[in-house]
Every structure is written in structure tokens, then in C-alpha cells.
A and B are shown apart, each in its own frame.
Chain A
Amino acid sequence: MKNWLNQHAMAMELVVQRLKTHWLNTLTICMVIGITATLPGLLFVGLDNLQDMSRTLKQDAQISAFLKPALNANLLQRLIHDLEALPQVKEVRYVPKEEAIKQLTQQFIQKDLLADLPQNPLPDALFITLQDTQPASVKPVQQLLQKRVEVEELVIDSVWIERLHAMLVLGKRIAVIFASLLGIAMITVISNTVRMQVLTHEAEIEVSRLIGATHSFIRRPFLYMGGVYGLGGGLIAVALLFVIVWNLKQPVQLLANNYQSQFQLVFHLFNVGGLMLITTVTIGWIAAFIALTQKR
């Protein structure tokens, strides 16, 4: 066990020594990997933020049911009761037309225009807040309301959120394709570099093999080297993402404020950063493994 640990420590020491000797080359490769990883990283950060935003929007998802004029109070109570019985419904709020016009008057700038109207044009309405905006939750409520004669018109506020969800799914798929392509590019770069290292140390490999080195002993420093390139590139990518998000934070917040939104651009260092590091290290290791397999 001690020997095994010694060999891993020696391999790591050898890698650090080699990388230090060719530090400029190491830095260049890490920069290439870092910049390549930043591009899909930005996409993921963007999608992560949009997903966060869509989660907060869920609470506002509503179905508005405009009722027929002069509706019987018993029919109205039964409708409210039936809606509240549905598990998908979080809250049902009844807004009579008198209250609706009052609210409209408060919001409307040209109050005289409303005062001039001969009668209140607004209908009584039910505002139904849902537990969530998934199509499966919206549908039963929608079906119930469409069957009831008491309801004159339905407005489903969640449609645009569903569209946002669909766009997020599409965006994620595009990000994965984009990341995969850049991942292949990273594998090619690292694999080529490791292959060059193998060729440079061919004499050492030959001697080591002759005097009893196992395949693992020979391959280990190169596999570590791939991992270290990935780690270096990943750290650069995380740093770049952090700086980019920090730079965009204020303009995005200004834009969001214009739309009366509290949305803030965030970078989840441990989630996105951690995932980025794990991915780049894995890519580095796989690339080194491919380089060593090609060599043999």
C-alpha cells in the first residue's frame, strides 16, 4: 500500500516537474482549454439563470376566468368550491366587477375617461393560482372551466411560461451539443499534447519497460498530465466566467428593473464551477487515455 501511494506521489511529482519545466507551453494549453470551456460555460450560466427566473415566475402563474354577467351566487360558490377541490389549484380569488373597476381606476392615468363610461364594462372574474405551471397541472383546471356555463372567457397566463420552459429545454439541448463539439476539440488538443510528451519521453519509457515498469507505472504520469491540463483549463474557465458574470451583472439588473423584475444575474460557483472543473478534468484524463491508446 505504501509503495502504491509512493508511486502515485512520484508520478504527480514528475508531472509537476515536467509542467514547471515547460511552464509557458503548459500555460498556453491551459488557456486554450480554459477559453474553449468558457463558451459552453457561458451558455450554461445563462440557462441556469433563466431557469432560476422561471422558478420564481411559477408563483405568479394564473388562470383568469371571466364570468357571465349577473351570475347566481350559488352557482358561483359551487364553481369556487369545485375549483378548490382540484389538487392542482393553490388559491381561488373572486374579484367582482366593482372591485375590478376600482383597481383599474387606481392604475389608469386618465381617470376621466373611465368616469365618462355609462356603465362598468368589466365582468366579474375568478383568478386561479396554480401549484405549478406544468401542462399536466394546467389542463384539468382548464377543462373544468371550459365545461362550465358560468364562465364566459378564459385567459391562461401560464402559456408564455410554458414557452419559456420549451425554450429552456431547447437551449439546454443546444448547449449540450455545443459543449460536446468543444469537448471534442479539447480532447484533440490535450490528446495531441500528451502524445507529444509521450514521444519526447520515448527513451525513458523504453528503459523503464526494460527494467520492469508496469503499464500503469508508465501511463500514470501521462494520465495525470491530462488531468492537470484539464484542471488548469477548468480553473481558467471558472475565473473567466466569474469575471464575465460580474461584468454583466449591473447591465442585466438595469434591464430587469425596466421590466419591473427583481431578476439578478448569478454565478453558482460551487454548482457550475464544480461541474466545470469535474468536466474539464475528466476530458483531460480521457484525452490522455486516448493518446496513450493510440501510442500503443
Chain B
Amino acid sequence: MIVFNNVSMRYPNSAHLFRQVSFSIDKGAFVLVTGHSGAGKSTLLKLMAGIELPSSGHILINQQDISQLHPNAVPYLRRRFGLVFQDHKLLYDRNSFENVALPLSIQGITGEEAARRVRAALDKVGLLNKEKAMPITLSGGEQQRLAIARAVVSRPSIVIADEPTGGLDQAASLEIMQLLKAFNDVGVTVVIAMHDVSQVSTIAYRTLHIDQQKINPMPSQTAML
């Protein structure tokens, strides 16, 4: 469960992005964070993942206050999340297999166990036949699927995706969203920041809309597209 309690956020020498926002995301939820460009969607996700610290307030992940976390403990917190970025953040000098294996090697998991988990993740995203391919040779949609495989390979309980369909055509976007929903269906909490909800197909979701430094939680709904 993710809980934001009176969280304010402002970067140095700039205006507040949020002022005392409070909301909670239940375990196993599928949540869209929406808002106009520059509203603070990415910052909200960064706060959840411990990449940024709030100016004030408390953020609890599974009842652990991450705003009070010692800097040395932050990397271990991040391992509990699967992160997907708009620009994929793949390593272009390593093949698909090695890209997906990176989170496991960070956790010291190598050898057969790592290979088995990497292949399972590649299989889930439909890239098992491209494990030796370099990311540059993959299409935009495939690169994002590879990034998703990297995000889920360490079996995180929460997947955070920042504009995962950005720059992709509608078919590829739909594929990505269905993939994320498939992980949500097996109990993974999925939080996605996106500005264009029209890409969400028949998926039941909950929205956190950011507007004028406030976050407005909306009730669960199903996309009609």
C-alpha cells in the first residue's frame, strides 16, 4: 500500500508542485496519474520510488516511512519497485538478456537462477526469441517491452511506469498497456503516469489527477475505448 500524507514538494528556486497532498493506493491497484505537461506526474512517481524526497509530509510504502529513510537504505527500497521510463533507459552496449539481467546482478543473483528468471521475463513480454538482440535493433514497442521485462524480472510488488507509451503508435501503446495490466492481474500494483488516457483500452483503472498543486483522486472507472 502506498500512502501520501500531507506531502508537499518544491524544487529549489521554483514554485510548489504539490501542497499538502494526501491519498492512498491499495495493494494490487491499477492507477493512472494524469495531468497536463509539467504538472508533476513524473515527480510524483519519483517520490513514490524514493528517487526524490518530499519537501514536507510523509510517504509510506507498506507502512514504512520512506521520507525518513537513511540514504544508504534507499537503493534497497528501489529494488521493491519495477521502474519503466518513457525513454526506456536501456543499455545499448548490452544485449536484451543482459539488460534484463541487470536488476538481478545488482541483487547478487547470477548463474542459472538469473538465466531462468530473465528468460521467464522475456517470455512474458514476448521477446524470448530476441534475447541476443541488441536494443538498437528492436522497434520502439519492443524496446519498451524489454524495459518492462527488466522492471518485472526481480518480481517487484509495485511497478511504476512514467509515460510508458510515449512516442509509440496506438497499436504498440495498446500492447504495452495490456502487458502492464497482465502484471496487475497477478497482484502487482501498477502506477502509470500518462497525459493521454485515450490510450487506455478496456482497462479498469483509478485516476489521480494533478491540477494546480493538488491531487484529485477519482473513483475507479473503465476506459471506454
Contacts and interface: CB of A to CB of B under 8 A. Distances in A.
Interface in B42-87: 49, 51, 72, 75-79, 83, 85
Most buried by A among B75, B103, B107: B75
B105 interface: yes
Interface string A202-237: 011011111111110100000000000000000000
Interface stretch (A4-12, A23-31, A178-186): A4-12
Contacts of B109: 3, 6
Contacts of B78: 210-212
A78 interface: no
Contact of A211 (B72, B83, B108, B110): B83
A208 B89 contact: no
Contact of B75 (A2, A10, A213): A213
B51 A211 contact: no
Contacts of B150: 211
A215 B110 CA distance: 20
B91 interface: yes
A173 to B, nearest CB: 44
A206 B89 CA distance: 9
A18 to B, nearest CB: 10
Contacts of A6: 108-110
A208 B77 CA distance: 13
A290 B8 CA distance: 37
Contacts of A203: 89, 91-92
Interface residues of A, number: 20
A217 B109 CA distance: 13
Contact of A212 (B85, B106, B110): B106
B102 interface: yes
B108 A212 contact: no
Nearest to A207: B89
Contacts of A214: 72, 75-76
A212 B79 CA distance: 5
Contact of A2 (B72, B91, B108): B108
Interface of B: 49, 51, 72, 75-79, 83, 85, 89-92, 102-103, 105-110, 150
20 contacts: A3-B107, A4-B108, A10-B105, A207-B91, A208-B106, A210-B78, A210-B83, A211-B106, A212-B75, A212-B77, A212-B103, A212-B106, A212-B107, A213-B75, A213-B106, A214-B72, A214-B75, A215-B72, A217-B75, A217-B106
Interface of A: 2-4, 6-7, 9-10, 203-204, 206-215, 217
Given A2-B108, A217-B106, 7 more contacts: A3-B108, A3-B109, A6-B108, A10-B110, A210-B51, A210-B78, A210-B83
